[in-house]
Structure 1
Amino acid sequence: MSRIGKQPVELPSGVTASLSGQTIEVKGPKGTQSFTATDDVTITVEGNVIKVDPRGKSKRARQQWGMSRTMVANMVHGVTNTFKKELEIQGVGYRAQLQGSVLKLNLGLSHDVDFQIPDGVTVTCPKQTEIVVEGHDAQLVGQVAANIRDWRRPEPYKGKGIRYKGEYIFQKEGKKK
């Protein structure tokens, strides 16, 4: 049984959920989000609690059970709070700056990288070597942070590149004489 799927999702005050078929829509003070579940699970809204149950004992139904419950919980969290990913830039001359809705990255390439920030996400640069990605959609925040990180992933010899805050990069030993 899914340990995650068994847990009900509590709706905090100020948040409402409506169900139509397999689509659940959550409204809160910070916006509205919706999710369409597969036919392998059943979603029910009872008062201020949302429950997700599998429709069968198949492996796919059990997989969708935990995933659907997590998606609903992330939507409830997203309409009340924000999700946040912090990135650090390490390397000589590497820096980031914000110009309107474009993040300019100087990463030691022959050209500057202009990263267009999508709607629904806010990006800030408190320092030249820090990037903070925030938004109400957990998947979108994670994807934008991953796309920024892909421009220069941390390399294992000197550790230069863009990394998540607190991420440990295993350092390899260099050549020996």
Structure 2
Amino acid sequence: MSRVAKKAVALPKGVECAVKDNSITVKGPKGTLKLAMLPGTGVVVENGEVTFSTNDENGSTKMAGTTRALVYNMVHGVSQGYERKLELVGVGYRATMAGKDLNLTLGFSHPVVFKAPEGITLATPTQTEVIIQGSDKQSVGQVAAKIRAFRPPEPYKGKGVRYAGEKITLKEAKKA
């Protein structure tokens, strides 16, 4: 068994975990997340902790560590939530909210409208910042990647949509 799977996941106050019908359900103040059990893993919930083991005797499936990491992310998501920040860099690049839709002006001849999926909250504290929040780590990261893909940072001037704190290595322009 992996070293990761040997460490139990502690359930914070207000978070419940249930294992039924080959699925794990984690419920907390920020929502409910569900995960299909990976093959060859055993999950036990007792005394406010979730422990993991392998059900396979010959060790052909080694998914206990992966299951533990996924359950930890679910517990963290329903208790505290996840957040990604994006920055818009460039003259005239701006973001505004229209209801639940994100309107992006990114130098195209048309505005880009992005509809937030279920369970994701978008906010624009300033015109050049977008904050993505949700309880599912994978979907928050996926939404951030989709928004960034509309205009990724270009390597000569650094204009585009980038993650907060992302460093862009600029190339030197051609010399005549």
Q: Distance in 1 between the 2:174 and 2:131 partners?
A: 36
Cα RMSD after superposing both structures: 1.3
Q: Distance in 1 between the 2:102 and 2:159 partners?
A: 19
Which residues of structure 2 form unaligned runs of 5+?
Answer: none
- Report deviation, 1:29: 2.0
The question of 1:26 aligning with 2:14 is answered no
Aligned pair count reads: 174
Counterpart secondary structure, 1:43:
strand
Letter in 2 for 1:166: G
Indicate the residue corresponding to 1:135 in structure 2. Answer: 134
The superposition leaves residues 122-150 of structure 1 with CA deviations (integer Å, 9 ceiling, x where unpaired) of 10001100000001111111111111000
Give the share of equivalent positions with the same residue, in percent.
47
Alignment of 1:1-177 (within 5 A): 2-56=2-56, 57-58=59-60, 61-62=61-62, 64-177=63-176
TM-score by length of 1: 0.93
- Report deviation, 1:91: 0.7
- Report deviation, 1:2: 2.9
Which residues of structure 1 form unaligned runs of 5+?
Answer: none
The superposition leaves residues 21-70 of structure 1 with CA deviations (integer Å, 9 ceiling, x where unpaired) of 32111122222211112222111112211112233423xx22x2222111
Counterpart secondary structure, 1:143:
helix
Dislocated runs of 4+, deviation >3 Å: none
- Report deviation, 1:169: 1.1
Q: Distance in 1 between the 2:154 and 2:4 partners?
A: 35
Q: Distance in 2 between the 1:65 and 1:161 partners?
A: 40
